[in-house]
Amino acid sequence: MKRSGFTIIELLLAIGIMATVVGSASVFFVILTESRIKQETIVEIEDLGNGLVTTIGQAIRNADSVTTPALGASGSSLVLAYADSAKNPTTFQTISDRIRITEGVTAAIELVPDHVSSTNVTFTNLSSPATAGTIRFQFTLSSINLSGRQPYSYSQTFFGSATVRKRP
């Protein structure tokens, strides 16, 4: 009499094949997820940095003059003078690894979120005595990685420059 069914060897082989397929799929899923997280981190830092370059550049171009840093000097803060008293002075500075802007007497506004650190912030006054004011600036933005996992780590240095437009 013949019995129908599976032998123990066939069962072990089927379980081995299934384990290999599930293991491979799991590894692929983990790699795919980490790649997505890394890409999102990069895009966030680069978008934030490019936005800051634009914001600082526009503030410089729209100012009447540069107060700080002095001619030929560098510093970690930028003070711009405006004819509009609501914006005078406008200050960019770093406090606790956060770039902040203060316009006039209003409260400071943080330009970077809590999970991003801004370091190596430098403003250099490249103006000559007869010019309106040219500022070169740079800063480094880094994601704050509390988990210690590689996909959440990213750092990028941004550069920009702008010249105060002469007012008629």
Number of domains within the chain: 1
pLDDT for res 142: 93
* 119 part of a folded domain: yes
- Quote the percentage of the chain above a pLDDT of 90: 54
Question: How many Å apart are CA 76 and CA 92, to the nearest integer?
Answer: 9
Question: How many Å apart are CA 4 and CA 44, to the nearest integer?
Answer: 60
* 54 part of a folded domain: yes
* 168 part of a folded domain: no
Q: How confident is the model at residue 166 (pLDDT cuts 50, 70, 90)?
A: low
Domain that holds residue 55: 9-163
pLDDT for res 43: 93
* 63 part of a folded domain: yes
Q: How confident is the model at residue 163 (pLDDT cuts 50, 70, 90)?
A: very high
pLDDT for res 144: 84
- Helix count (H) and strand count (E) of the chain? 1, 9
Phi-psi region of 101 (alpha: psi -120 to 50; beta: other; left: phi over 0): beta
pLDDT in tens, 23-38: 999 999 988 988 888 8
* 111 part of a folded domain: yes
* 23 part of a folded domain: yes
> Alpha-carbon Rg of the chain, whole angstroms?
27
Beta strands, E only, the chain: 65-68, 74-75, 78-81, 90-95, 98-103, 109-110, 116-125, 134-143, 155-163
Cα–Cα nearest to 156, from 144, 141, 145? 141
* 157 part of a folded domain: yes
* 1 part of a folded domain: no
pLDDT for res 2: 66
Question: How many Å apart are CA 29 and CA 159, to the nearest integer?
Answer: 37
| Over residues 121-143, mean pLDDT | 90
168 pLDDT more than 50: no
pLDDT for res 62: 92
| Over residues 6-35, mean pLDDT | 89
Query: Is 28 in a helix, a strand, or coil?
Result: helix
Question: How many Å apart are CA 164 and CA 12, to the nearest integer?
Answer: 76
pLDDT in tens, 43-89: 999 999 999 999 999 999 999 889 889 888 999 999 999 888 888 89
